[in-house]
Amino acid sequence: MAGVPDHTGGSGPAGHEPEYEVIGGVIDDQPSGVARPQPGAGSPPRTAGNFGAAAAEAWGSARTSFTSWWFWLACAVGISVAWGLAAAAVSFAEANGWFDTRLASARYLITAVFLALAAAVLGAAWGFRHSHGRFLVLLLAGGIRGTALGALGGGVLFLVGASVGGPPALAGAAAVVMVLEVALFGLIGAGARACFAAAAPAAALTAVVVAFLCVGNVVATLLLLPGTTVMDQASVPVNVERDDSGRILAYECVGDLRPVEVVHTERVAWLAAANPALLLGSVGADVVPMDDELGWVLAGLQWAADGPSREVPCLGGESSDGLAPSVPVSVTGLALQALVAALVLVPGRWLRARRLAAGSD
């Protein structure tokens, strides 16, 4: 892992070596009085965008995690907590009659949801601990750590799905989402750590951002949802085509407009798209067949993001041919997560650079 050596004192050369930190380029470990090799003078040019060098540096960072039993303990705890919370949630829901019919794959789906949330939390924590390095190094190192967690979590989820007869594709989708969440939330953790010299305020910032993306955005969406109910105008749909689940696919419109009450869920659904659990649902909806009992559940967020046109056709007298194509929730969610990561990481690296420059004066 590239970063600041942890030398705080002692005798010998190690106690007097200068400390270096990666700010966005290659580590400069040459003393000021030593001539640096120039490109074309016996050595190939080195660039910050060299993917191979970044991948090697990222692997070195991830390998320090893989050689620590704390990393594997964190993976085991995250997966165990996800499974336990899913089991408790399903038992509580069944005891209170929240399921109209017994959904055999409920534990499978909810375990996948909690695994996505666990990946986000662990990714932020690992990024916080390994916050030094170029952007590409941080991203690749997070992806490598996420691959390890995704392989373990996906394997456990596959066994849970096999025990209830759930679609195995959901386990694969969950593994992919776990890799992405560890990488993106790792950038958030690294950026938050770089914002402050002290660890405590950096940890507080990380906790606030992660809590909003994992819980707060859904709460905010639910609170804003009642305000999206409005009176609109719609005509009469004809030649309606539906899928196997009864959802409307295509229609034509005739007649005069009449007032109808609709809920414009698309106005607030984007806010919840960055939630790791709902992101998983969107990715899972693309791989789980619609005729499966989980298919319609996973597709619910996409229908909410598409707005009332799926439930109330002919709004404004417009047929299905005139509707704009829907944007996958997974694309919106990943874009929002990347935006949040950039808003934390870019200022953090700038602040760290300013602290180093002030310390060198």
Burial class (CB in 10 A: 0-12, 13-18, 19+), 112: buried
Residue 288 lies in a domain: yes
What are the tokens at 125? Answer: 């924590």
C-alpha span between 301 and 270 (Å, rounded): 10
> Does 242 share its domain with 121?
no
Say what the pTM is: 0.80
Question: What is residue 325's three-state secondary structure?
Answer: coil
Residue 28 lies in a domain: no
What are the tokens at 217? Answer: 């955005």
> Does 102 share its domain with 206?
yes
Quote the number of domains for the chain. 2
248 bridge partner residues: 242
Q: What are the tens digits of pLDDT across the range 93-152? A: 777 777 655 566 788 888 999 999 999 999 999 999 999 989 999 999 999 999 999 999
Q: Are 168 and 185 in contact (CB under 8 A)?
A: no
Question: What is residue 328's three-state secondary structure?
Answer: coil
> Does 118 share its domain with 136?
yes
Residue 56 domain boundaries: 51-224+332-360
Q: What pLDDT does residue 307 have?
A: 76
> Does 148 share its domain with 99?
yes
- Mean pLDDT, the chain, rounded, equals 81
The answer for residues whose C-beta is within 8 angstroms of residue 77's C-beta and 6 or more apart is: none
> Does 76 share its domain with 207?
yes
Q: Are 190 and 131 in contact (CB under 8 A)?
A: yes
> Does 113 share its domain with 258?
no
Host H or E run for residue 252: strand 248-263
> Does 252 share its domain with 352?
no
C-alpha span between 317 and 9 (Å, rounded): 76
Q: What pLDDT does residue 23 have?
A: 41
Give the sign of the dihedral formed by CA 142, CA 206, CA 150, CA 292: negative
Q: What pLDDT does residue 320 have?
A: 67
Residue numbers of the chain with a pLDDT score lower than 70: 1-49, 99-104, 243-247, 289-297, 299, 310, 320-322, 324, 361
C-alpha span between 166 and 160 (Å, rounded): 8
> Does 211 share its domain with 344?
yes
> Does 199 share its domain with 240?
no
Q: What pLDDT does residue 71 have?
A: 95
Q: What are the tens digits of pLDDT across the range 190-236? A: 999 999 999 999 999 999 999 999 999 999 999 998 888 888 888 88
Residue 127 lies in a domain: yes
> Does 324 share its domain with 338?
no
